[in-house]
Amino acid sequence: MRDPRDVACSAARHYDLDLDGAVAMLCQRDAAGPGFPSALMSRQPMGSWSEHLDSWLRQAAFPVATFRYEDLLAEPVAMFHRALTFAGLAVSEDQVSRAVEVTTFERLQTRERDAGFTERSLVARTPFFRSGRAGGWRDELSADQVARIERSHGTLMAEFGYLSHDGGDAARAYALRSLVTPSSGSTSFAATDDDRRRPVLRRDTVLTKDPLIASTWMSDDLVLATSTGRLVSLDHMGAVVWQRMASATNLGVLVEALCAEFGIEDDTCLSDITPMIERLLANGAVTAE
C-alpha cells in the first residue's frame, strides 16, 4: 500500500488526469481503471483506495503480507527480506542486498529511459519511474484535495499510520510490523519471548546483531522488528546497547563503555543489561558466541 495522497499525485501522471480528477478517482466507490486498446490493459475494477485495500485485508482464502511503500523506501533490505521469507524463499543477506542494489530507483529510471517500461500507460506524459519518494503530496495537493482524501479514507489511513497526530508513533509502529495476515485472520508477530534455551552470558561473549532488523523510535523507546516478526521494545540504555553493537561486540567491552557513559558500577551495569540482552537473543535479534 501507499499513502493515498501520494497515490493521487502518481495516478494523475499515470492516467494523464489533473489532480482533482485523480483525487476523485481515488475517492470514487467502485472506480475502475480507464482501460486502453490492449488485451493486457482492458478496463479493470479497482474500487476506491479504501475499497481496494480492504478487499485484500478482509479476504481469508490465502495468506496476505501487507507492506507499506514508505517502509520499502526506508528499509529496503529488511522489508524485501521479510517479503521473501513470507513467500517461503530462503535467501542470504548478500543476495537480498544485491537485489536491492541493482534495482535502485535511479537504475530503474535509467533502464526505462534506455529501453522503455511495459507498465507505463499509453497516455502518460511522464516516465513511470518519475519521483519514487514519500510525502511529495505536500508540495502538490491543495488543502481541499488533502481534506477530501482524508475524509474518504481516514479510517484506514489512521490504522496504517498515515494520519498520525502523536508525533508519528502510529506510522512508525506500523512500519515495524510488516503485517502478515494468515487465512485465520491472526497476525504472525507477538511481543513475547521464545522459549528456546538462552546461552550463558560471560564477559568474553561476543554479541552480533542481525543486520536485517528494522528499528524505529516510538516516544522514548527504540522498537525492533525481528526477522521472526516479533516486536522488541528497548528503553534508553537498551537503545544505547543496540546502537553500540553496530559490529560484533565483546560483552565486557560493552559493559565498560556503558559504565563510563551512565556513571554506574560494573556489576550493576551487567545486572541491568543482561535481561535485555537475553531477550534480544531469545527473539533472534542478536547471536552470541
181-195, 196-210, 242-256, range with the lowest pLDDT: 181-195
pLDDT band at 183, cuts 50/70/90?
A: very low
| Cα–Cα dist 219/162, whole Å | 17
Is pLDDT above 80 for 105?
Answer: no
β-pairing verdict for 206-209 and 249-250: antiparallel
29-33, 83-87, 134-138, 159-163, range with the lowest pLDDT: 29-33
* Residue of 217, 215, 199 whose CA lies nearest to 207: 199
* Cβ atoms of residues 224 and 234 within 8 Å: yes
pTM of the model: 0.53
| Cα–Cα dist 16/289, whole Å | 58
pLDDT band at 38, cuts 50/70/90?
A: very low
What percent of the chain has pLDDT above 70?
Answer: 71
The contacts of residue 12 (CB under 8 Å, 6+ apart) are 18, 19, 21, 22
26-40, 93-107, 151-165, range with the lowest pLDDT: 26-40
Interval 158-181 mean pLDDT: 55
| Cα–Cα dist 181/22, whole Å | 30
Cα pseudo-dihedral 158, 161, 162, 167, rounded to 10: 100
Domains of the chain: 4-181 (3.40.50.300), 206-288 (3.90.930)
Interval 19-42 mean pLDDT: 66
